[in-house]
């Protein structure tokens, strides 16, 4: 599929506007001098944990404990994530380290 120049420019403008709206809207809805509503503060505290829980469930949904490696690579990677997060308290390091351990286990061990 080939796009015309006008279509390409339209897509770029739409993506740029969408990005700008999502970046600037919170500052317009919740200015610095106004108190943030309680439900927004609650969502700010609850959603990160909920999203991590959803990601864990999604990542483990295809694990079959009866066949193959019995979920050992996943379990070991989760253990590495927990240990790294306890030691360093760095989400990026924890997720990156767990991913590397999982990929090494799957490619080289199991």
**Cα(107)–Cα(91) distance, rounded to whole angstroms?**
24
Instruction: Give me the pLDDT at residue 20, please.
Output: 97
Alpha carbon separation from 59 to 3, 82, 106, 110 (Å, rounded): 36, 16, 14, 18
Asked whether the predicted pLDDT for residue 69 surpasses 90, the reply is: no
Spans of all domains in the chain: 55-109
Which is more confidently placed, 56 or 24?
Answer: 24
**Cα(73)–Cα(100) distance, rounded to whole angstroms?**
11
Question: Which alpha helices (H) appear in 4-109, and where do they start and end?
Answer: 5-29, 38-60, 72-88, 91-104
pTM over 0.75: no
């Amino acid at each position: 599929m080939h796009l015309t120049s006008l279509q390409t420019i339209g897509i770029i403008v739409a993506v740029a506007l969408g990005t700008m709206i999502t970046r600037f809207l919170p500052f317009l809805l919740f200015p610095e001098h106004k108190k943030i509503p309680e439900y927004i503060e609650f969502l700010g505290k609850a959603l990160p944990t909920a999203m991590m829980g959803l990601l864990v469930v999604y990542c483990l949904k295809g694990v079959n404990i009866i066949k193959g490696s019995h979920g050992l690579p996943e379990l070991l990677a989760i253990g590495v994530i927990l240990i790294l997060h306890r030691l360093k308290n760095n989400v990026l390091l924890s997720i990156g380290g767990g991913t590397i351990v999982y990929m090494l286990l799957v490619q080289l061990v199991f």
